[in-house]
Chain A
Amino acid sequence: MDLRYTHAEQAFRAELRQWLSDTLPGLPDKPSPEDWPGRRAYDTHWQRLLFDAGYAGVDWPVAGGGRGSTPVEELIFKEELERAHAPYVGVNFVGLLHAGPTVIAEGTPEQRERFLPPILRGDEVWCQGFSEPGAGSDLASMRTRAVRDGDHYVITGSKIWTSHAEVADYCELLVRTGPEDSRHRGISWLILPMDTPGVEIRPLTTIAGSTEFAELFLDEVQVPVANRVGEENDGWRVTMVTLSFERGTAFVGDLLEAIELLSSAVALAQRTGAWLDPGVRRQAGHLRAELDALTALTKRNVTQAARTGVPGMGGTFFKLAYTETRSKLGEFTLSLLGRAGLAADDVDGLDGLGVLPASTMVEDWLRGISLTIAAGTSQIQRNILGERILGLPKEPSVTTQAPASVGGPSGPTGS
Chain B
Amino acid sequence: MDFELTEFQTDLADGVRRMCQGQFALEQLRAFELAEQVVDRKGWRSLGEAGVFNLCLAEEAGGVGLGLAEAALVFEELGRALVPGPLVASHLAAGLIDGADDGSVVVGLVEIGAPGTGDVAPLIVEWLGDLDVLLVLSDVGVAAVDPQELDAVRLSRPMDPLTPVWSVPRLPPGTPVGGPDIAAWWRRDGAVLTAALQVGSAAWTTDLAVEYAKHRHQFGRPIGGFQAVKHLCADMAVRAELARCAVQAAAVTVDQPDVGDPGAAAAGAKLLADEAAITNGRSCIQVHGGMGFTWEIPAHLAYKRARVLATQFGTDDDLAESLGLWLADPTTGDATGSDGR
A383 touches B230 (CB 8 A): yes
Q: Give, as a whole number of angstroms, the nearest-CB distance from A292 to chain B.
A: 5
0/1 interface trace, chain B 222-250, chain A, CB 8 Å (1 if under)? 10110101110111011001110110110
Interface segment, one of A14-22, A274-282, A402-410: A274-282
A387 pairs with B230, CB closer than 8 A: yes
Cβ B326 vs Cβ A304 within 8 A: no
The answer to whether A393 and B1 have CB atoms under 8 Å apart is no
Task: Tell me, yes or no, whether B302 is within 8 Å of chain A by CB.
Answer: no
Report the minimal beta-carbon distance from A279 to chain B, rounded to whole angstroms: 9
A-B contact number at CB 8 A: 185
Task: Decide: B246 and A4 in contact? CB cutoff 8 A.
Answer: no
Contact of B238 among A4, A270, A320 (CB under 8 A): A320
Q: Which of B9, B206, B265, B320 lies in contact with A282, CB distance below 8 A?
A: B320
C-alpha spacing A72/B2, complex, angstroms = 9
When distances are taken between beta carbons in the complex, the residues of chain B under 8 Å from A307 are 2, 4
Task: Give the distance to chain A from B9, nearest Cβ to Cβ, in Å.
Answer: 7
In the bound complex, what is the Cα–Cα distance between A306 and B4 (angstroms)? 10
Stretch at the interface among A25-33, A151-159, A295-303: A295-303
Q: Taking CB as reference atom, which chain B residue is nearest A381?
A: B234
Interface membership of A391, Cβ < 8 A:
yes
* B245 and A390 within 8 A (CB): no
B300 to chain A, nearest CB (A): 22
A303 and B6 alpha carbons, distance in the complex (Å): 12
**A303, B227: Cβ atoms closer than 8 Å:** no
A284 to chain B: which residues have CB within 8 Å? Answer: 323-324, 327-328
Q: How far is the CA of A154 from the CA of B246 in the complex (A)?
A: 53
Given contacts A285-B323, A285-B326, A303-B2, contact A293 B210 (CB under 8 A): no
Q: List the B side residues contacting A266 at CB < 8 Å.
A: 324, 327-328
How far apart are B276's CB and chain A's nearest CB, in angstroms? 10
Contact A390 B234 (CB under 8 A): yes
Residue picked from A280, A283, A379, A382, most chain B C-beta under 10 Å: A382
Q: Which of B210, B224, B238, B249 has the most CB of A within 10 A?
A: B238
A320-345 contacts to B, CB under 8 A, are: 320-321
State whether A288 touches B259 (Cβ < 8 A).
no
Decide yes or no whether B3 CB sits under 8 A from chain A: yes
Determine if A392 and B325 form an interchain contact, defined as CB atoms under 8 angstroms apart.
no
Most buried by B among A1, A278, A302: A1
Does A3 lie at the interface of the complex (its beta carbon under 8 Å from any beta carbon of B)? yes
Contact B328 A9, beta carbon cutoff 8 Å: no
Contacts of B319 in A (CB 8 A): 285, 289
What is the minimal beta-carbon distance from A165 to any residue of chain B, in angstroms? Answer: 33
Interface size of B by Cβ–Cβ distance < 8 Å?
56
One of B4, B69, B272 near A304 (C-beta < 8 A)? B4
| The one of B206, B225, B227, B246 that contacts A293, using a Cβ cutoff of 8 Å | B246
Whole-angstrom CA separation of A133 from B326 in the bound complex: 47
Task: Decide: B3 and A300 in contact? CB cutoff 8 A.
Answer: yes
Does A195 interact with chain B (Cβ within 8 Å)?
no
Question: Chain B residues with Cβ under 8 A from A5's Cβ?
Answer: 1
**CB <8 Å contact, B259 and A386:** no
Residue of A1, A278, A386 touching B321 (CB-CB under 8 A): A278
**B-contact 0/1 string along A13-57, CB 8 Å cutoff:** 000000000000000000000000000000000000000000000
Q: Which B residue's beta carbon lies closest to that of A308?
A: B4
Given A2-B256, A390-B210, verify A299-B1 contact (CB < 8 Å). Answer: yes
Tell yes or no: A290 within 8 A of B by CB.
Answer: yes
Q: In the complex, are the beta carbons of A3 and B253 less than 8 A apart? A: yes
**Contact, CB under 8 Å: B234 / A382:** yes
On chain B, the residues within 8 Å of A263 by CB distance are 327
Chain A residues in 8 Å Cβ range of B267: 285, 289
Q: Which residues of B contact A381 (CB under 8 A)?
A: 234
Question: Looking at the complex, which one of B1, B271, B272 makes contact with A3 (CB distance below 8 Å)?
Answer: B1
At the interface, yes or no: A83 with Cβ under 8 Å from chain B? no
Q: Contact at A288–B327, with CB atoms within 8 Å? A: yes
Contact with B along A305-320 (1 / 0, CB 8 A): 0110000001001001
A262 at the interface (CB under 8 A from B): yes
Which chain B positions have C-beta within 8 A of A304? 4
Q: Is A294 an interface residue (CB 8 A)?
A: yes
Known contacts A270-B328, A293-B242; A391 and B317 CB within 8 A of each other: no
Question: Is B5 on the interface with A (CB-CB < 8 A)?
Answer: yes
Residues of B within 8 A of A306 (CB): 2
What chain A residues lie within 8 Å of B324 (beta carbons)?
266, 280-285, 288
- CB contacts (< 8 Å) of B320 on chain A: these are 281-283, 285-286, 289
Contacts of A275 in B (CB 8 A): 328
Best-buried of B221, B245, B264, B317 by chain A (most CB within 10 Å): B245
Q: A292 and B249 in contact (CB under 8 A), knowing A2-B256, A5-B1, A304-B4?
A: yes
Task: Give B265-289 interface residues, CB cut-off 8 Å to A.
Answer: 265, 267-269, 271-272
**A392 contact from B3, B225, B242, B248, Cβ within 8 A:** B225
Is A299 in contact with B3, judged by CB distance below 8 angstroms? Answer: yes
The answer to whether A297 and B245 touch (CB under 8 A), given A1-B4, A3-B259, is yes
CB distance from B304 to the nearest CB of A (A): 24
Which of A4, A293, A382, A390 counts the most B-chain CB atoms under 10 A from its CB?
A293
| Across-interface contacts of A300 in B (CB, < 8 A) | 3-4, 245
A385 at the interface (CB under 8 A from B): yes
Q: Mark B172-214, 1 if CB is under 8 A from A, else 0.
A: 0000000000000000000000000000000000100010011
Q: Does A394 contact B (CB under 8 A)?
A: yes
Q: Chain B CB within 10 Å — which of A275, A283, A386 has the most?
A: A386
- The answer to whether A351 has its CB under 8 Å from any CB of chain B is no
A3 to B206, CA, bound (A): 28
Minimum distance in angstroms from B238 CB to a CB of chain A: 5
- Supposing A288-B268, A299-B249, A321-B242 touch, asked if A1 and B230 sit within 8 A by C-beta, the answer is no
**Smallest Cβ distance from B220 to chain A, in angstroms?**
12
Q: Which of B227, B230, B242, B326 has the most CB of A within 10 A?
A: B242
The list of the 10 closest CB pairs from A to B, nearest first, reads: A285-B323, A289-B268, A281-B324, A285-B324, A393-B225, A296-B249, A293-B246, A386-B230, A392-B224, A282-B320
| Chain B residues within CB distance 8 Å of chain A | 1-6, 9, 69, 206, 210, 213-214, 221-222, 224-225, 227, 229-231, 233-235, 237-238, 241-243, 245-246, 248-249, 252-253, 256, 258-260, 264-265, 267-269, 271-272, 317, 319-328
List 20 interface pairs A-B (beta carbons < 8 Å), by A numbering: A1-B2, A4-B258, A9-B1, A282-B317, A284-B323, A284-B324, A285-B267, A285-B321, A288-B268, A289-B246, A293-B243, A294-B242, A299-B245, A299-B249, A382-B234, A383-B231, A385-B234, A386-B234, A392-B214, A392-B229
